[in-house]
Amino acid sequence: MLPDENRNAQAVEIQEDVSREDIVSAFRSAMVGHFRSHIPGTNINESTLLASDYLNHFHELVMLLEALSSEPEAFSEDLLAWRPLTYEEHFTQSGFRDKNLAIAAYRRAPHRIRARFDDAVARLHGEALTLVATVGNVLDGGRDLEKTCQESAARLRILIDEANAIANGEIPAERGDTEAQGEVSNQAAIDALFGT
């Protein structure tokens, strides 16, 4: 057999032995490995491929609530103008040094971890908008602004901590979700998701 014929025969054999799913799995594994190789030295978690810096968007709201209770005239407009941003919107608009890597890694984060994180963020968005509206009503009604702001900030901190724990590969103790604990806190389980 001539060298060119041998190469063609091997290519046919490889094509027959490798399924589409195997190719997709190998590609995904290579992409995840690529992202993980660029992550050291950044604020992106190597296991989850998520950057908790996104949560700064919600920390800003907490700071606004705390400032509003003592200086409503100075901060009420900023508070009422606050709107949630998606993960990608936040990084697109931010000065985060590794924002493009953060967005690309987020898109390839393990499905279950990303779904859990996205659910936590959706709760944060909903609660944040509700609390902004509640505080806006208190501003108009002259009720106990300080107490409302403190309670709102405390509520947001709980939700931020939950999302932060997911982004950093931890599970909040109060969740008690043993499947999630195994998935997020155990590096071997995360590697199994990628087939590495």
Q: Which tens digits make up the pLDDT trace of 143-196?
A: 788 899 999 999 999 999 999 999 999 864 334 444 444 444 444 443 444 343
Comparing 130 with 185, which gets the higher pLDDT?
130
Q: Which tens digits make up the pLDDT trace of 36-77?
A: 655 666 788 888 999 999 999 999 999 999 999 888 889 999
Long-range contact set of residues 157-161: C-beta below 8 Å, sequence gap at least 24: 157/62, 159/58, 159/120, 159/123, 159/124, 159/127, 160/55, 160/58, 160/59, 160/62, 160/124
Q: Which of 10-14, 63-67, 84-88, 140-144 has the lowest mean pLDDT?
A: 10-14
Q: What's the whole-model pTM score?
A: 0.69
